[in-house]
Amino acid sequence: MLAANQYPDHASIAAFRQRHLATLASLFLQVLKLCERAGLVKLGHVAIDGTKINANASKHKAMSYARMTEAEKRLEAEMARLFEEAQNVDAAEDVLTIRAARSVTYPQPTKCDYSDRRQPPGSE
């Protein structure tokens, strides 16, 4: 009931994501780190909309601070690539949507003949 059963259009969501891209990327990274610390996730494969992101998390390999820093940079680069890919898909869909909207044809209005309608009593 937060939005009174109103749902945003996909274009609104895409525009929001584009407007707040840097903040969302930073927030996503913070959430991943918190989840890892809480033991909720293992950094193996992270899936976003079915896209797998390689990560380096083996129980048999200890991560040094330097390797963690490298992994973090690699994840940031991967997130940037995914956000860019999503933006490109949005742009391509926008082009298709605009083309589809331009190709819509509407029927010409017709003239209606109301002469066969009955008139209310006393209006003649």
Task: Read off the pLDDT of each residue in 79-106 and give the average, rounded to a whole number.
Answer: 83
Give me the residue label for tokens 């990274």. Answer: 29
Mean pLDDT of the chain: 78
Q: What share of the chain in percent tops pLDDT 90?
A: 19
Q: Which pLDDT value is given to residue 110?
A: 73
| Residue 29 predicted with pLDDT over 60 | yes
The tens digit of pLDDT for each residue in 5-22 reads 777 788 888 888 899 999
Residue 61: both structure tokens together: 């390999």
Q: Which pLDDT value is given to residue 1?
A: 44
Q: What is the largest CA-CA distance in the chain?
A: 96
